[in-house]
Amino acid sequence: MYQVFVVEDELLIRQSIRNMVENMPGPFSFCGEASDGEMALSMMQDLMPDILLTDIRMPFLDGLELIRHAKAIMPWLRVIIISGYGDFETAQKAISLGVDQYLLKPVRAAELARVIEKVAQQIEESKQSVSLPGGYDEDEVQHALLQHYMQQLLYGGLDTATLLERARALKLEIVSPCYRILLFHFGAEELDYRSARTAAQKLLKQQGMELFYFAEANQLAVLLCGADAAALSEQAYRFIAILRHEMKEYCPEVTAVVGNTVQRLSAVCQAYKTALDLIKRVWSVAAGQVVDVNDTAQIAAGMIELDNPFGESFRQKLQYASAADVPALVDEVLDSPEGNRFGSTLMRYYALLDLLKMAAAQLSRQTPGTDEKDIAARLSEQHDIFAASGRMDSFRQTAVELLRQAACMKPDHLAGVKNSHVISKAEKYVAENFCDPNISLISVAKYVGLSSAHFSTVFSQTLGRSFINYLTAMRIQRAKELLATTNMKLSSIAMEIGYNEPNYFSHVFRKLEGITPKEYRNRVQGNQ
């Protein structure tokens, strides 16, 4: 299915294009629209469309700037311009940005369908060329030398001077203020590893990334170099989003680990080992997730704010329990009706984090002058919660051992867990501002202090849906309340929930609910 996104500042033209796309036969799906380039960029970063239909002259961010920024984030994006301007200079700029087709208004449905189908065919041909055996673009000898160099860099054994000398011989740009490792695991059992590897190499070349290493057929390491940690973080999460999108046909379940930032080339080896240890456990417990090595210490500190999944009664009993009482207390919770909640791996992980919180608090009380978060961080280095949360028996054993010994835990897990406080902050902000038509993924990411790419990954991974879908669901829920309890005009309700255009509100409502807003009001108010 090809996802199509439309950007056009004229409402009637945008509606017409949307209707054309929705009525097209074949594997095409209209996924969203925007009236200007700035809003479009935010929505597209979350929706990750395959095909963009855009006007050129629009407010805030024109079409050419939108294309430039969008293709930097989504290099796979195919672009069709629909414009009322056919001058040579504009067309020349469009070609330089990699635009696939250029249509002049007014555009007819048959013509638009033909062009979209042609672009879809180009996407398919590109995919097929990736899968051809032996489809490597780079010289095999140079590739082999690069892989050998990366192996020496990642596994250690050479001093910095030798690494720099060999990098110069290979013409590699490796001297940088900061370095960061990305690790990927392609986990599907039926995966065609050769095609997947060829696709990954093609993408790396397109992104200008020379420093990569295939440790195994299903495992890829990429070394990022940059000016500072913030820039590397943004680059890391953007590349992860691109690779996961491009690899979904070969492997729908790509696990990724973002290593910690280091300032020395000699420190890359240890950063790789740390990331390698983490990805082994991530893949075994929660394949398909994106995890940041830097989250580990923050999980230990941030978990102090987590709710208590074992319940307040358990917490109170624990205050007066001896070590011998602990197994019975844990079993009492697990055997109760509420124990069913621990059927989820993620819930078991939250629970173990909460027990770590209790242990840290208890030790803090017993040792005046110590900081609870510091104690939690030390505890987190000693026990493998990751593996323990994978099965109920190991979960129970770890819970008992933690509470009996109060000195053994290690919370290495999903970036979504670490960022639970970030997501809570974002949810609260959206709840208070979803009626603002200018709210976007970019604005919320800025509010919580993450890059938009990082926030998009964390948000969708934690809540199981994209930011745009979350925002839309909240708006439509409010619309349903207003439709059921008031006689407000549909145009007023649209404005009330953040949509400037009533027709688009009706379109979104019908898409989610299966009926129009008017039909919904008649049904709930008993007018039918």
Q: Extract the runs of DSSP E, i.e. beta strands, from 453-504.
A: none
Q: What is the 3-state secondary structure (H, E, C) of 370-435?
A: CCHHHHHHHHCCCCCHHHHCCCHHHHHHHHHHHHHHCCCCCCCCCHHHHCHHHHHHHHHHHHHHCC
Task: Say which residue the tokens 């019908």 belong to.
Answer: 510
pLDDT at 237 > cutoff 50: yes
pLDDT at 252 > cutoff 60: yes
Bridge partners (DSSP) listed for residue 8: none
Tens digit of each residue's pLDDT (9 = 90 or more) over 79-123: 999 888 766 677 677 777 778 888 888 889 999 999 999 988 888
Query: In terms of DSSP bridges, do strands 254-258 and 212-216 run parallel, antiparallel, or are they unpaired?
Result: unpaired
Query: CB under 8 Å to 43, separation ≥6 — which residues?
Result: 5, 32, 34, 440, 441, 468
| Residue 80 dihedral angles phi and psi, to the nearest 5° | -120, 120
Task: Tell me the mean pLDDT in the region 146-150.
Answer: 86
The residue ranking higher by pLDDT, 305 or 35, is 35
**461 confidence band (pLDDT: 50, 70, 90):** confident
Determine if the pTM surpasses 0.85.
no
pLDDT of residue 527: 58
**412 confidence band (pLDDT: 50, 70, 90):** very low
Please provide the CATH number assigned to the domain covering 2-131. Answer: 3.40.50.2300
CA distance 346 to 132: 40
21 contacts 116 by C-beta, under 8 angstroms: yes
pLDDT of residue 124: 81
Q: Is 76 helix (H, G, I), strand (E, B) or coil?
A: coil
pLDDT of residue 413: 34
50 contacts 78 by C-beta, under 8 angstroms: yes
pLDDT at 51 > cutoff 90: yes
**286 confidence band (pLDDT: 50, 70, 90):** low
Largest pairwise CA distance in the chain: 83
366 contacts 406 by C-beta, under 8 angstroms: no
pLDDT of residue 96: 75
| Residue 30 dihedral angles phi and psi, to the nearest 5° | -75, 120
Tens digit of each residue's pLDDT (9 = 90 or more) over 152-183: 899 887 888 888 888 888 888 888 999 999 99
The residue ranking higher by pLDDT, 363 or 381, is 363
Cβ-count burial 115-140 (b if 16+ within 10 Å, e if not): bbbebbeeeeeeeeebeeeeeeeeee
263 contacts 204 by C-beta, under 8 angstroms: no
pLDDT of residue 179: 94
**408 confidence band (pLDDT: 50, 70, 90):** very low
Give how far Cα 521 sits from Cα of 157, 365, 504, Å. 71, 57, 17
Task: Tell me the mean pLDDT in the region 295-309.
Answer: 49
Domain boundaries along the sequence of the chain: 2-131, 140-293, 306-416, 423-524
CATH class for the region spanning 423-524: mainly alpha
Tens digit of each residue's pLDDT (9 = 90 or more) over 184-212: 988 755 566 677 788 888 888 888 888 99
479 contacts 498 by C-beta, under 8 angstroms: no
Q: Report the range of poorest mean pLDDT among 13-17, 244-248, 350-354.
A: 350-354
CA distance 494 to 511: 15
Task: Tell me the mean pLDDT in the region 287-293.
Answer: 81
pLDDT of residue 466: 87
pLDDT of residue 410: 31
Task: Tell me the mean pLDDT in the region 223-228.
Answer: 91
pLDDT at 130 > cutoff 50: no
Q: Report the range of poorest mean pLDDT among 27-41, 59-73, 480-494.
A: 59-73
pLDDT of residue 133: 43
pLDDT at 480 > cutoff 90: yes
* Fold designation for 140-293: Alpha-Beta Plaits (3.30.70)
pLDDT of residue 383: 62
pLDDT at 445 > cutoff 60: yes
pLDDT at 459 > cutoff 80: yes
pLDDT of residue 101: 86
pLDDT of residue 127: 66
Bridge partners (DSSP) listed for residue 219: 185, 216
**433 confidence band (pLDDT: 50, 70, 90):** very high
Cβ-count burial 349-374 (b if 16+ within 10 Å, e if not): bbbbbbbbbbbbbbbbeeeeeeebbe
pLDDT of residue 382: 60
Annotate 190-205 with DSSP letters as a single string. Answer: T--HHHHHHHHHHHHH
For the chain, give the percent of residues with pLDDT over 90. Answer: 19
Q: What is the CA radius of gyration of the chain?
A: 26
Q: Is 184 helix (H, G, I), strand (E, B) or coil?
A: strand
Element (H, E) at 225: strand 219-226
The listed range with the strongest mean pLDDT (157-171, 180-194, 368-382, 396-410) is 157-171
Sheet holding 219-226, edge to edge: 212-216, 219-226, 178-186, 254-258, 290-292
pLDDT of residue 224: 93
